[in-house]
Amino acid sequence: MAINWFPGHMHKATKEIKQLLPKVDAIIEVLDARIPYSSSNPVVAKFRRDIPTIKLLNKTDLADPETTALWRAHFESQDQTTSLAVSAMNRDQVLAVMTHIRTMFADKIDALKPVNVMITGIPNVGKSTIINVLAGRTIAKTGNEPAVTKGQQKIHLPDNVYLWDTPGILWGKLVNQNGAYRLAATGAIKETAISNDEIGAWTAECLLERYPDALVKRYGLSEVPMDDIDFLETMGRKRGCLAGGGQIDFEKTAKILLTELRDGTLGRLSLEAPSDMVREEAEVEALLEAELAAKEEKKNNRKRKKR
Do 129 and 205 sit in the same domain of this protein? no
Dist. CA 232–CA 133, nearest whole Å: 39
Q: What is the CATH number of the domain that holds 132?
A: 3.40.50.300
Domain count, the chain: 2
Residues 206 and 158 placed together within one structural domain of the fold? no
104 & 224 share domain: no
pLDDT confidence of residue 2: 55
Question: 143, 165, 187: which is the final residue of a domain?
Answer: 165
Residues 103 and 247 in one domain: no
Over residues 133-158, the pLDDT tens digits come to: 999 988 765 554 444 444 568 899 98
Instruction: Let me know if residue 298 belongs to a domain.
Output: no
Residue 48 included in any domain: yes
Name the nearest CA neighbour of 121 among 192, 57, 60, 70: 57
Sheet holding 53-58, edge to edge: 81-85, 53-58, 26-32, 115-120, 161-165, 153-157
Of 87, 169, 77, 158, nearest to 117 (Cα)? 158
83-101 pLDDT tens trace: 999 999 999 999 999 999 9
Residue 48 and residue 23: Cα distance in Å, rounded? 11
Do residue 205 and residue 149 come from a single domain?
no
* Phi and psi, residue 116, nearest 5°: -100, 120
Average pLDDT of the chain, as a whole number: 86
Q: CA–CA distance from 79 to each of 118, 154, 293 (Å)?
A: 18, 27, 34
In-domain check, residue 39:
yes
DSSP the chain: -------HHHHHHHHHHHHHGGG-SEEEEEEETT-TTTTS-HHHHHH-TT--EEEEEE-GGGS-HHHHHHHHHHHHTSTTEEEEE--TT-HHHHHHHHHHHHHHTHHHHHTT--EEEEEE--TTSSHHHHHHHHHTS--S---SSS----S-EEEEEGGGEEEEE------SS---HHHHHHHHHHTSS-GGGS-HHHHHHHHHHHHHHH-HHHHHHHTT-SS--SSHHHHHHHHHHHTT-B-GGG-B-HHHHHHHHHHHHHTTTT-S--S--HHHHHHHHHHHHHHHHHHHHHHHHHHHHHHHHH-
Residue 252 lies in a domain: yes
Does some domain include residue 153?
yes
Q: What is the pLDDT of residues 43-86, one digit of tens each?
A: 787 788 889 999 999 999 999 999 999 999 999 999 999 999 99
Identify whether 156 is part of a domain. yes
What CATH number is associated with residue 245?
1.10.1580.10
Same domain, 149 and 256: no
State the virtual CA torsion across 60, 62, 65, 68 in degrees, nearest 10.
Answer: -50
pLDDT value at 207 more than 60: yes
- In angstroms, how far is the first alpha carbon of the chain from the final one? 38
Q: Provide the domain limits for residue 71.
A: 8-165
Same domain, 23 and 147: yes
Task: Report the alpha-carbon distance of residue 17 to residue 152 in Å, rounded.
Answer: 9
Span 210-265, pLDDT tens digits: 999 999 999 999 999 999 999 999 999 999 999 888 899 999 999 999 999 999 99
Of 196, 190, 241, 251, nearest in space to 219 by CA = 241
**Residues 238 and 93 placed together within one structural domain of the fold:** no
Mean pLDDT of 166-180: 70
Same domain, 51 and 117: yes
Please tell me the distance from the alpha carbon of residue 180 to that of residue 174, in angstroms, as a whole number. Answer: 6
Report if residue 268 sits inside a domain: no
Q: Are residues 100 and 242 in the same domain?
A: no
* Same domain for 60 and 209: no
Judge if 37 and 149 occupy the same domain. yes
